Structure 1
């Protein structure tokens, strides 16, 4: 009996002697039990989700096998990140987000704004579920198009034992396209009988595009809900802005020259390096995707009511301004020196700053009206030679290229034609379409005199130029196009 008091006090002693449960657990367990900061995690996941959707968009339009594999792997990782986050905030997302909308009748620790973000992530992730099968279906189509490049993370890995895939075609000789092109007569090729292989054409299905658009929509709808400190960027819009920054004018360019641009017949352009328009035949690409020239065409010089407009066709190559010569287009230019562009007046009554030969060429020149003679004119201004066999050879007072000098004014004359496709490609005209032969061979054209001035050079070698249309000549005609079409 003498030990009875001790037995009665034993439970209290054990309670005091045992450490609390929180003290007995390791630190990392406590960290896992702490509630996750909702806004920082949600901001990260929504940004990653937008990046993923943009990456999938690019992968589905790319012939690169690794891009598709990379998008597929990121989709797998992102789905599990989002699932873990959602379940950490509310264990059953299906109850809280019914039909993509938050159920306000369910009691949770999330406030109204957090519920909207929570359900936006849940809805977007659900929309992306069919994409994995689409990416998996795309992989066999891309196998063998080229030797795949290893992903960045795998290039230095000693465990990478991936065998290279033999490409379907050997490296393509990088011969430039003939310029000016030859139309209507046989022309030699750099390699006899050689035809470069077609690049693949890949068009993502409309259903997949609709799925990706639906997955972006709930994410963009909740961006305004986030705290002001959040910095979420729409990846698709950022890509478009970056693309315009690489090839188009910036807003500040227009603002700097607003006073000059208020004058009639004026404009501003960014003159890109010629390499921007050339496509490397050894670089696999999707030929269904628009090229730089298609995304950022040369700016119009005049406003016309019809579809055809003359354009400010100019590029930079080897430190020179050069006029490209597609089809039957050609032109010539010269440097006038440091003359103010807004006060420049050059016409048949005002030729003081031009020599007699220059005035005759720029103001009185008349393009020929036959196709063969036009092609000869193209070569004349390309080579600056009037004819062969002259010793010394006679040269023209201007050519299609001249060195670039900042803050100098240039005089440019452009002759342009919109040739029918049947003339360019040699596609025969069917018997049923012969009645429309005059309409088919209709060739809109233009002949304009322009002065321009480079005012800034960009780091990529492009130039910002302001220009002004000085005169417009009668539209040149081609009277013998019917000789260069084939009738079926």
Structure 2
């Protein structure tokens, strides 16, 4: 039978972890335009505050008297007989964090009213048998709120357009719908006062672990389940990751980077960290080569912008450690193509080559297989990538004229930062969301390609 003291440490460890999860959910809800997420954290805040207050009162009836505003007990000599110093510190840390989070309730209510300007806010039924009709059409079928699903946008008349064709630099292109301007997505910034409350509550929780006795394993075990910094893959492949020009990254599905039609997205968080991921190679100026890799359907796919392009080949079950800059372990045809392919020096020819790799058409590479920008995603396989990237100046991307005041632009046209890199990567784990954890290694950095005819594309 569990002792009273062990029960105290086990329960407080669980409550502290619940507080940490609630803080993470609040951060997500504050940054999201989804009203359902805000309703969810508001309900969780109330129920969790009641749960913690009930537990604390059973331990000591006057939490305010025992603990000060900094989450510490006021006076060791005034501790109740059933408390020791460590239990009092844990007790007060939990009390202070709960009080700090509860200060967010009016802020959540205010933010929820603003979410109501973006998405439909449905009141939750009080009992399971309550009927809730559509607020606009009384004869509409009964709709029960489901907080697990995103809230319905108030403006859902956005057309479902197909994926646009490859952009062509230097010429105008037709759009799917003439003069169509997509709806502006909301810019949602978390209020500073909310961030301060979350930070303070987190600091209170951080003082609790040191007060747990060494023999108490409940907190350590629960904390380990929520530790995202030390993944198993990082420990398994630690020796490989110590090699130069190597790394590990999670490659997400293409859907993670594109908003679905008639959904709402916070445009301040439109860019997902990690894509494209930097290769950490030094180049001239501020240009940093990266690898724009995504999972599209069942394939690993390069999705570069502007005139950047590349190609991928599955080279089989080869260890990354066996590959080097000379690619000696590959068959001669693949090795020669990766090492000897010469990118054109004209803008139009570069874009033609890019379309050849994307479509697989009109290829005259003298290869036994079609070379593409993607390959089927599989574990226990190694993939070789050659990636070419160019940092085009704005006068080319925006078709701007060169004036006397903008004479510096001529120099930019003749010194476009670029890179030509051969990388190998190997997926080591697949995830339920369709993403893959991969190991990558830069094998070779070829001479930076140059474009010699940019001036003729300027007005």
TM-score tier (shorter): 0.7 to 0.9
Within 5 A, what are the aligned runs for 1:11-410? 38-100=8-70, 101-104=72-75, 105-106=77-78, 108-109=80-81, 110-148=83-121, 157-161=128-132, 163=134, 167-178=153-164, 180-227=166-213, 228-231=216-219, 241=228, 250-255=233-238, 258=239, 270-289=250-269, 291-292=271-272, 294-295=273-274, 297-300=276-279, 302-304=281-283, 307-336=286-315, 342-343=321-322, 353-355=331-333, 361-386=337-362, 398-404=371-377, 407=380, 410=383
- CA 1:281–1:377: 2 relative to 1, 3 Å: same
**Secondary structure at the residue paired with 1:69?**
helix
Deviation at 1:379, TM superposition (A): 1.2
- d(CA) in 2 for partners of 1:40, 1:351: 55
**Secondary structure at the residue paired with 2:198?**
helix
Deviation at 1:116, TM superposition (A): 1.7
Deviation at 1:224, TM superposition (A): 2.7
Tell me the number of residue pairs that the alignment of Structure 1 and Structure 2 aligns: 433
- d(CA) in 2 for partners of 1:456, 1:51: 25
Judge conservation of contact 2:307–2:389 (CA < 8 Å) in 1: yes
Deviation at 1:142, TM superposition (A): 1.1
- CA 1:420–1:148: 2 relative to 1, 3 Å: farther
Q: TM-score, normalised by structure 1?
A: 0.72
Equivalence for 2:143: none
- CA 1:198–1:38: 2 relative to 1, 3 Å: same
Judge conservation of contact 2:388–2:421 (CA < 8 Å) in 1: yes
- d(CA) in 2 for partners of 1:381, 1:205: 47
User: Where in structure 1 do 4 or more consecutive aligned residues deviate above 6 Å?
Assistant: 34-37, 232-235, 237-240, 427-433
Larger radius of gyration between Structure 1 and Structure 2? 1
Judge conservation of contact 2:249–2:439 (CA < 8 Å) in 1: yes
User: Which deviations, in whole Å up to 9, do the C-alpha atoms of 1:387-416 show, x marking residues without a partner?
Assistant: 9xx9xxx99952323445665555432111
Judge conservation of contact 2:33–2:266 (CA < 8 Å) in 1: yes
Equivalence for 2:409: 437
Deviation at 1:62, TM superposition (A): 1.5
Q: TM-score, normalised by structure 2?
A: 0.76
- CA 1:44–1:97: 2 relative to 1, 3 Å: same
Deviation at 1:98, TM superposition (A): 3.2
Judge conservation of contact 1:86–1:93 (CA < 8 Å) in 2: yes
Deviation at 1:428, TM superposition (A): 6.3
- d(CA) in 2 for partners of 1:174, 1:38: 55
Give structure 2 stretches of 5+ with no counterpart: 137-151
